[in-house]
Chain A
Amino acid sequence: MIEHLPALMIAVPLFGAFTAPLFKKHYKEVSIWAIIITGITVILSLLLAKEVVTGGIMVYVFGADKPTLVLPSGYSVPIRIMFEVDAMSAFMAISATLMSFIGALYSYSHVDRETGLEKYYALLMLLEVGILGMVLTGDLFNLFVFLEIAGIAGSALVGFRNYRGEASEAGIKYLIVSAVASLMVLFAIGILYGQYGNLNLAYIAKNVSFNMVDMIALGLLFTSFAMKCGAVPMHYWVPDAYTEVPAGINPPLLVATYASLYALFRVSFTLFANVVVDLARVGWIMSILGVLTMFIGVTMALVQKDVKRLMSYHAISQTGYMLLGVGVGLTVLHDPSKLAEFGRDAMAGGVFHIINHIIYKSLLLMTAGALFYVTGTRNLNEMGGLARKMPITAISFMVGAAAISGLPPFNGFASKLLIYETSYRLNPLLTVFAMVTSVLTLASFVKVFASAFLGPPLEKFENTREVPKPMIIAMIILAALCIIFGLFPNLVLDKLVYPAVDALINFAQYHSWGGLA
């Protein structure tokens, strides 16, 4: 069974998605079904990660006599659909499954007043399929297919509350952005296929000749994935989408965004890693985009009055840290001394920040969802004095706000510390922007806390109460993870992050495991 784990990662949520419509009008049952399915995928992803970290890269060939048979008899190139799972893929798969589970758990109460929940949960599991496919595949065309699945499921979920005009608008915007990005990805894949006659990532990476056409393909892939992960100045769709999507979908939607970030890293490191001269250029582009993203994101967050929109701009801002960390690593990838000195740690900071951010941003967006659930508004000007009425939400918010601001000992601190120290080695100005962004992040969360939770209890909220238990449990799990990951950063760094970083750095291993040794 272990050898079929990569396939099961897709098959289980796909089965869950296709069977969810059978629960039409049985809303409690479909919620529980989604929790069970997403829970199983968490277990599968943990097993997969254990297998990959201990046994090395896992290859799964669909339709072959044996799942590990990459090259059928008589063939010199891989032709079948193939998954290639390294530590980076496994790291992303854990993030995706965990957040889908948390999202399903939170949704149990959060969307209980909505109709059409069988479609909601079917789409949630389909979104999970899309993300998992993107991070596990070893084939460029399937990357495009799963990108499309995630994009379509995500846009349907963004527009799920179709009785709100804003939700429909955000859903359509998300769909168009996803479609344009996917189309350009397909165009780039076509360019590469036209030249090399194959879609296997490892095969193309080994044969890529870095001519002008290749560089155009890299430019198209880079820009498309940068837009899909919300890098400034291509971030405009993010606040609309994150604000309008039900809060239970925010965690998987965040991971969907970071699956595009993963694709960006995979393209830069695995597909074009042999480009010795131009890779530093790619690294600098990534680092500069990162700085722009973090600074413009946070300054836009500071002026928002809608609590979810404010947090959405923060999600953009935090993406900048990941781009900066990994960008610094990419810049020095072909300089062994600098890579050992600070490049590997910079990438560890960037990759560690992905999981940290997914945890605390999901928590914060859930607290925003809880505020909306209780008050019926997202306008911070209309809130106040809610800490006494919603103590657990208030504490969860404080933990999330401290984590995103990089306050010790919460999880955001460790990853930011690595990014500050290492980006300083490349250029001190990068660190200045990163640190100013952190200060502004804290300032904007003080604004949210002061206006929503502090102050005298308002009369209109006299009868409000804390949110239902499933929502509380989801928030507590995430708050606990913020503290655990902050107190024991080595637990995640040693077991998951550094293996993931090494998988990116040791691209030759990935190339040879594609059956082309």
Chain B
Amino acid sequence: MAAVTENDGVMRAADGTPLKQALARATRMNKMRAFLLTTPLLAFILVSFILPIGLMLFRSISAPEVAEAFPKTLEVLKQWDGEGVPGEDIYATLAAEMSDRDNRFNLGKAGTRLNYMESGFRSLMNKTTRRIKRAEAPFKDAFIKIDKRWGEADTWKTIRQAGSPYTIRAYLNAIDLTQEPSGDIVAQPEVKQIYVTLFERTIWVSIGVTVACIALAYPISYLLATLPAGTANLLMIFVLLPFWTSLLVRTTSWIVLLQTNGVINDILVWIGIVGDDNRIQMIYNMTGTFIAMTHILLPFMVLPLYSVMKTIPKDHMRAARSLGANPAIAFMRIYMPQTVPGVGAGSILVFILAIGYYITPALVGGQDGQLISNIIEYHMKKSLNWSLAAALGGILLAGVLALYWLYNRIVGISNMKLG
């Protein structure tokens, strides 16, 4: 073991390494150990959160089906100038790829993908695949005989366009735009424009629900925070009990309450406020969505507000009063600013939850109470257009991130208090 003999003004550890270096190494070891402790969590977040989101975003731009089904045709199509009808070689290549038995399931998927771009493509592909096997050269005439669409330049342009394995088509579609066979990006026909409207509606509903939650939760939380502990705990049950109840149960209860022959309408008729013939339509529309969502999200506002209010010393208000402020001024200038972190936390919770809501709108929304998540669910489960669903989800995610950024700029995320 080397002794500490050199005398060059550098402090050394027992083994002769400079002290600074030894210290750095010890710190590094500590940091490493701390990091290792968090690896399970990191791995969990990576696998269950980051990876799925990444893959979802990948799916929104990936469209390999046509490229997988017709690699050779697309290769030949590259030489085509896009004028008039392509040459016989292209038709022959396509015929060969369509007749290939191993290619069968790729053909089905390619047909689905092409059908997203142009309705009727699925049956065109199926019909042609069935018949082209029996056809003989020249294939150009055979194709056009099967369906005259094969004689149109647009059909081939669509296939060429769909041949690229990556596309932003789903994103265009998600903001009501579309790409024509010529490559121009244009607005969807008016009868098919829906997503922008739904995004706007979702944002407005979420803002509305958040505001309603603040308005309702503020007095409740204030009451909870100022009442004696026994009473407050009792009241707290009323907040927590619905919070613990299943979402579906609460939504269905609202249907029972609000429907045309439901409890509320019956009471109103019995009192005589409304006639039996013109009962109020409170469900299967926006009103129903709004009421049920506000009720379901209310605890997410009450809890952070309450926990923040609980920590505000009562002395502050008394001090303000003793210095001459009237109750309203004291409340506005002393109490309210101190609850901002709670309002902020509650608002961001409620808003982000509201923006992704779909069960409640699906059940009580009717036709004008649907939100963007309902369409995402539809594309996931019914139309199987997963790339469009992913694109819509991607936009929603970007929106939430933008909101978070904005919140951080204005309120500061460090000011958020959840309890």
A pairs with B: no
Q: Which B residues lie at the A interface, using CB under 8 A? A: none
